[in-house]
Structure formats: C-alpha cells, structure tokens
Amino acid sequence: MKLPEHLAPDYRFLAIIGHPITHSLSPLMHNSAFQALSLPYLYAMYDIEPDGLLKAVQDLKTLGFLGYNVTIPHKQAIIPSLDGIDENAKAIGAVNTVCILNSKAIGYNTDVLGVVRALEPFKGLFAEKPALVMGAGGAARAAVFALHTFLKVSEITIAARSKEKASSIAGDFRIRNAKIVNFARKDLNTSLAHCSLIVNTTPVGMHPLVDASPLSDDAPLKSGHVVFDLIYRPLETKLLRHAKAAGAKVVGGLEVLIQQGAAAFEMWTGKKMPVDVVRKVLEEKLKVE
C-alpha cells in the first residue's frame, strides 16, 4: 500500500478498502465534499483481497491515515484486527468505518446511522407502527437494527427466502415483536396490509435487472406507506415507481449511501458534509452510468 503521490505534505488521507472496489462511489462522494469545503484531505481506494486484510489494517495505521471505510467482503472479517469497536458495530457484528487516533484503529457502523438519517424525515408516518423488511443479508441486519433500536417501530416482519437467516437477525437483536414470513407474493401482500414502512434490502430490481421488483404488480401499496429501497443503481427502482404511483412516500438507497458517508465524514473531520453538493454530484454520476 502506497500513499497517493504529488500532494502537499500537510494532506490528510482517508480511504475505502474492499474487493472488488472499482464501482465504489465513496471516493467521488468524499473528495467532492473535501473540495467543496476546501479541505486538504484526499480519499483513496484500495482493492484488498481477504488474505491481505491484516497487512492493510497495519499499513493504514503506519502511513498515518485518519481513517477508512470498509466494504464487502471485509465488514465482519476486519473486527479481530481492530483495537476496538463501538456498541452498534458490536451488536450488528459489522464495521464499515474506522477512525485511527493515537495509533488505535476503532471500528464503527455508520450504515445504521445512514438508515436512521434517511428515514428520519418520514418517522412521523411509521413510528410505533409495524414495518416490513424484505431480505435477510447484511443490509437487512443494519436496517432491522436501525428500525428496532433507533426508529422505534412497533413490530418488524422479515420476509426472506431463508427463514433461518431471518430468525437469526431477530434473535441476535433480541426483538420480541418480530415475525418471519416467506418471501412469497401471498405473505408479502398480507404483510403490506398492516405495515406502514416497507423496506427492500434484497438486490431485486438492481442494475442490470431493472424490470424486476420484490413486490408483484398487484401488491396493495397505498398512500399511507413509506417505501424505502436500499438499491441506488438505478436511482429509482421499479418498486419505488410503483410506490410513487400508489401515492406512497419513497426513499431511495442513494440517501443511505450519502448519510452513512456523512456520518463517517463528521467523525474524521469534525465538520458537516455538504450533503446537497454531494447528492448532486452522485445523482449526475449515476444518471450517466
């Protein structure tokens, strides 16, 4: 691992590590924010294979990085290599942000904060009411934890192909008011009828299969629903178009990406990320992809 070259000696460095990493929008997001605030910081990207993870964690410390993001496949695997992790990251069992201070690398999970901040403007529409989460992978864990711990929904239904994975999410977070249902049209439609917040954490509808949706065309979406799709490629999924047409409020995955990044940015720099600038840059980038 090498520092980016040709920069003034007072530059500070941040990065993302993952494998593969080429499609990450995080460098564009953070570097646009640093530029907008005229901060002498640079955010780099390192493709790190699983067997190089421990060395990368050490190198990032030695080279004087302020911190870094961690993405697939390292979010769980990195934990034993860190000097500590915060409570949320520990409860979820995944780290996506690391801060290095006094040669100590501490792990955090800002994906959860991303979900909380993206949904906060609509909280009045779903707080104390039942929510439906589709999928039971990594994004589902962050979403369910956010809904249960911070957004205070009254009950969470997890619809998943694997009932085992769904049950282990509910069990790990000790959610008493959890229901597990099949990822099947009948069960999804029944759940929609009594849930106010609908969250898609599956990749169904993601580029290139953009004509797919986790819900059937006759699913009873309505104006009282808040529909949240974690996918951001494309910016507006078939699910969100369907929900909009039914009069529901919609939130796209780009907002989570931006808000998790904003939370990390604040931890590293002590400054607020200019989210409007960043949103515009990322929307432009995703529109032409």
From the list 3-11, 23-31, 254-262, 265-273, the region that binds ligand NAP by CB under 6 A is 254-262
192 binds ligand NAP (CB under 6 A): no
Tokens 């990594």 sit on residue: 138
Please, what is the angle between helix 163-172 and helix 138-149, to 10°? 40
Any idea what DSSP says for residue 45? E
d(CA 229, CA 236): 9
CA distances from 15 to 59, 131, 231 (A): 12, 35, 23
What phi and psi values does residue 81 have, to the nearest 5 degrees? -85, -10
Cα–Cα dist 121/124, whole Å: 8
Q: Which of 18, 67, 253, 274 binds ligand NAP (CB under 6 A)?
A: 253
- Return the residue of 33, 106, 256, 278 that touches ligand NAP, per CB under 6 A: 256
144 binds ligand NAP (CB under 6 A): no
115 binds ligand NAP (CB under 6 A): no
**Residue 75 annotated to the active site:** yes
230 is an interface residue for ligand NAP by CB under 6 A: yes
26 lines the binding site for ligand NAP (CB under 6 A): no
Q: Does 162 bind ligand NAP (CB under 6 A)?
A: yes
Minimum distance of ligand NAP from residue 79's CB (angstroms): 17
In the complex, minimum distance from the CB of residue 62 to ligand NAP, in angstroms, rounded to a whole number: 29
CB of residue 102 vs ligand NAP: minimum separation in angstroms?
Answer: 30
Position among 26, 109, 110, 202 found at the interface with ligand NAP (CB under 6 A): 202
CB-CB contact of 83 with 105 (8 Å): yes
Could you write out the three-class secondary structure of 88-137?
Answer: HHHHHCCCCEEEEECCEEEEECHHHHHHHHHHHHHHHHHCCCEEEEECCC
- The residue among 139 and 264 lying less far from ligand NAP, judged by its C-beta, is 139
Q: Which residues are catalytic?
A: 75
Binding site for ligand NAP (CB under 6 A): 135-140, 160-162, 165, 183, 201-204, 206, 230-232, 253, 256-257, 260
